[in-house]
Amino acid sequence: MMTANRPIALVTGASSGIGKAAALALVEAGFDVVGTSRDTSRVAPVDGVAFLDLDVASDTSVSATVQQVVDRFGRIDVLVNNAGIGLTGAAEENSVAQAQGVFDINVFGVMRMVKEVLPHMRARGGGRIINLSSIFGLIPAPYLAAYAASKHAVEGYSESLDHEVREHGVRVLLVEPGGTSTSFEANSTQPDTPLPVYDKQRRVADQVIAAAVRDGDDPAIVAKAIIAAATDTHPKVRYTAGPMAGRISTLRRIVPSRIFYSQIRKYNRLAG
């Protein structure tokens, strides 16, 4: 085992997008960083980041990977649960199996990681778990319903867990990005039971999602919020990432629902 002088961070899904930017930023911030991918043989090396294979949808993979990190470094100071996947289409066009697949990664993947890492953090009396939510963990996302449901679940789980583990020196924090320029949309699963009745509106929704990601924030902006969550002396439960996410989060809290929902319909170019 290496005796680590620097704090150790484990970032799931560090092969691309936000996870990769977070891994790089954590190296810059003075962490020894372990990043993961389902297939590390296909990952381009990232300076200062050691890669391990991990599928957060598999119990055995999660437990083996966390054990490898602990064997090698002796501890985990920061866990960034970043791995996630989208699912597009109208809710009625997604089979239950598809929705379960998204939850298995976005929600149960987070829970699997927490259950493996938390005993090590508790034993040392400290640590931070940073869960990637989304602005869609706070507001409705038509034509991304299962995805929005998964991020709402991450919000409720994280906020509840945070109250359980504070007395053990561990904090559970949320990072909430808005549209961010990554391969997220390209990697999203398409509906497996498309229905003609939703064709027109689904095409509009796909354009709205594609534009939000294409014209979205640089992943480095989200990485900055992750670094703040990892290092702030007095961390906040929620970190919105980027100006748009901050504005939406505030509006959600202060604008009456009727007005907020009419804006949601307008933004998503929904009929009626």
Active site residues: 15, 133, 147, 151
CB atoms within 10 A of CB 188: 19
User: Residue 124 CB, nearest distance to ligand NDP (Å)?
Assistant: 25
- Taking residue 1's Cβ as centre, other Cβ atoms within 10 Å add up to 9
In the sheet with 8-11, reading across from the earlier edge strand, the strands are: 49-53, 32-37, 8-11, 78-81, 127-132, 170-177, 238-241
Q: What is the spatial distance between Cα 243 and Cα 56, in angstroms, rounded to a whole number?
A: 30
Q: Note whether 25 and 227 are within 8 A (CB).
A: yes
Of residues 106 through 145, those in contact with ligand NDP by CB under 6 A are 132, 134
Q: Does 90 bind ligand NDP (CB under 6 A)?
A: no
Helix (H, G, I), strand (E, B) or coil at 49: strand
**Which amino acid, one-letter code, is at 37?**
S
Judged by CB under 6 A, does residue 216 bind ligand NDP? Answer: yes
Count of chain residues binding ligand NDP (CB under 6 A): 29
- The yes or no reply on residue 184 touching ligand NDP (CB under 6 A) is yes
Q: Does 38 bind ligand NDP (CB under 6 A)?
A: yes
> Does residue 57 bind ligand NDP (CB under 6 A)?
yes
- Of positions 8, 9, 11, 15, contacts ligand NDP by CB under 6 A: 15
Q: Is 16 in the site for ligand NDP (CB under 6 A)?
A: yes
Q: Is the distance from CB of 80 to CB of 11 less than 8 angstroms?
A: yes
- Under the binding rule (CB under 6 A), the answer on residue 19 touching ligand NDP is yes
Q: Closest CB to ligand NDP among 126 and 187?
A: 187
Binding flag, residue 179, ligand NDP (CB under 6 A): yes
State how far the Cα of 202 lies from the Cα of 152, in Å rounded to an integer: 22
Report how far residue 192's alpha carbon sits from residue 236's, in angstroms, rounded to the nearest whole number.
39
84 lies in the binding site for ligand NDP (CB under 6 A): yes
Interacting residues toward ligand NDP by CB under 6 A: 12-13, 15-19, 37-38, 54-57, 82-85, 105, 132, 134, 177, 179-180, 182-184, 187, 213, 216
